[in-house]
């Protein structure tokens, strides 16, 4: 399947290679570099490249390219998924400290995904229900597309072999679910209960999509007025953010990112709240807003300097919005209870809900 693997950093150095069959020369990566040059940015490097003797399948993660060399037909997703797992493993291994000196122990256990002989003095099970709103809002403020994607991440520190079942108040909300292998699929099919012997530590229990029939509440609105004057070297920029359908919770961690048109030279803005930066090279405007207080809505106003002589931009830029609402799952999903079987102690249990903006875009 995968013949060789090369790791390439952002400055184009091949700093690690691994060959599973015969050794393939580094020069095979030249085809990759060629494709990289052709692509406007890293995001546009095609994941599958055909060369005279090999096929290159690559992924881009954390400023690194993982380039695999393939010789024969293989499902490309197989390779892509595998490379991402490799990247995950590296992240796990190098992420926390520099290099761990020991590999994890107790890997051979009766349950494939759980190490044996787990012991904790404090037995805890935490679940984070994280929902992200993907949305496209059009110019007039109406929703073109909105959908909720959620995950339940778990942090389980329980001794022994606990057998957990997690039930929801409203499991029917979950439209399409993908599971960690520990979950008993049949139990879910029949009872809509997540029954599982958890892996030890952090893991993603499920990811789900909330059925698209449900209307998605959009917690913020943006009033915007962005205009570029014809035959003049300046324009106006004025945006205000306000809460909407926020279920009485505070919206925090708001950030607005705007990719301004190329003709924009600079921006002179005044925020009523938070701070903004404009990068004249990448033309990216970032406004770090913080919290919304309904009494005084945050706004960002000012002038845009355009390259003189250049035609005014055709389109106003889209606003990408990030926000966070604590203690709320926007879909209304609620965990009903968590039961533990198989162990005698009483664990400490906790569920946290967070709603975030996913790919949340406002067209202007």
- Rounded least distance, CB 39 to another protein, Å: 8
Distance CA 199, CA 183 (A): 10
Partners of 236 in beta bridges = 227, 303
Piece in contact with another protein (CB under 8 A), picked from 41-49, 219-227, 265-273, 330-338 = 41-49
- Rounded least distance, CB 20 to another protein, Å: 8
- State which of positions 192-211 bind another protein (CB under 8 A): 195, 197, 202, 204, 207, 209
**Residue-wise over 109-127: b if at least 16 C-beta within 10 A, else e?**
eeeeebeeebeeeebebeb
Quick one: the chain helix, strand, coil %, rounded to 5?
A: 15, 50, 40
Piece in contact with another protein (CB under 8 A), picked from 67-75, 166-174, 290-298, 321-329 = 67-75
- State which of positions 340-359 bind another protein (CB under 8 A): 341-342, 344, 359
Q: Does 27 bind another protein (CB under 8 A)?
A: no
| DSSP per-residue letters across 225-250 | EEEE-TTSSEEEEEEEEEE-S-TTPP
- Please select the residue that binds another protein; options are 35, 161, 297, 335, rule is CB under 8 A: 161
In the complex with another protein, the residue whose CB is nearer, 48 or 272, is: 48
Task: Give the chain's radius of gyration (CA, Å).
Answer: 25
- Please select the residue that binds another protein; options are 27, 102, 142, 231, rule is CB under 8 A: 102
| DSSP per-residue letters across 63-131 | TEEEEEEE-S---HHHHHHHHHHHHHHHHHHHHSSS--SS--S----SSTTS-SS---SS-EEEEEEEE
Piece in contact with another protein (CB under 8 A), picked from 73-81, 272-280, 288-296, 301-309 = 73-81
Q: What are phi and psi of 38, to 5 degrees?
A: -65, -35
Piece in contact with another protein (CB under 8 A), picked from 91-99, 237-245, 286-294, 345-353 = 91-99
Distance CA 241, CA 253 (A): 13
Distance CA 73, CA 61 (A): 24
- State which of positions 250-309 bind another protein (CB under 8 A): 259, 261-262
- State which of positions 134-153 bind another protein (CB under 8 A): 134, 136, 138, 144-145, 147, 149, 153
In the complex with another protein, the residue whose CB is nearer, 96 or 121, is: 96
Q: Does 169 bind another protein (CB under 8 A)?
A: no
In the complex with another protein, the residue whose CB is nearer, 44 or 122, is: 44
């Amino acid at each position: 399947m995968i013949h060789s693997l090369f790791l390439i950093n952002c400055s184009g150095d091949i700093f690690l290679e691994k060959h599973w069959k015969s050794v393939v020369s580094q020069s095979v990566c030249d085809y990759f570099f060629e494709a990289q040059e052709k692509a406007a940015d890293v995001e546009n490097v095609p994941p599958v490249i055909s060369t005279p003797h090999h096929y290159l399948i690559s992924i881009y993660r954390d400023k690194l390219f993982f380039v695999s060399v393939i010789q024969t037909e293989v499902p490309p997703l197989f390779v892509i998924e595998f490379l991402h797992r490799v990247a995950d493993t590296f992240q796990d291994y190098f992420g926390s400290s520099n290099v761990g000196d020991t590999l994890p122990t107790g890997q051979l256990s009766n349950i494939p995904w759980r190490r044996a002989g787990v012991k904790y003095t404090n037995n805890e099970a935490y679940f984070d229900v994280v929902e992200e709103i993907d949305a496209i809002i059009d110019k007039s403020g109406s929703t073109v597309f909105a959908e909720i994607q959620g995950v339940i991440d778990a942090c389980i520190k329980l001794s022994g072999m606990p057998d957990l079942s997690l039930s929801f108040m409203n499991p029917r909300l979950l439209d399409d679910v993908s599971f960690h292998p520990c979950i008993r699929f049949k139990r879910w099919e029949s009872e809509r209960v997540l029954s599982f012997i958890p892996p030890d530590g952090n893991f993603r229990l499920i990811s789900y999509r909330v059925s698209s029939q449900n209307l998605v509440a959009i917690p913020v609105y943006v009033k915007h007025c962005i205009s570029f004057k014809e035959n003049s070297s300046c324009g106006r920029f004025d945006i205000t953010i306000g809460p909407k359908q926020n279920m009485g919770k505070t919206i925090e961690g708001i950030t607005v990112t705007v990719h301004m048109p190329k003709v924009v030279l600079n921006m002179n803005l005044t925020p009523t709240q938070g701070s903004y930066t404009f990068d004249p090279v990448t033309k990216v405007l970032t406004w770090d807003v913080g919290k919304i207080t309904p009494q005084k809505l945050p706004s960002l106003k000012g002038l845009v300097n355009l390259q003189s002589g250049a035609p005014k931009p055709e389109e106003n830029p889209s606003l990408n919005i990030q926000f966070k609402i604590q203690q709320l799952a926007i879909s209304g999903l609620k965990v009903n209870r968590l039961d533990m079987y198989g162990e005698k102690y009483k664990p400490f249990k906790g569920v946290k809900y967070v709603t975030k903006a996913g790919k949340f875009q406002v067209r202007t």
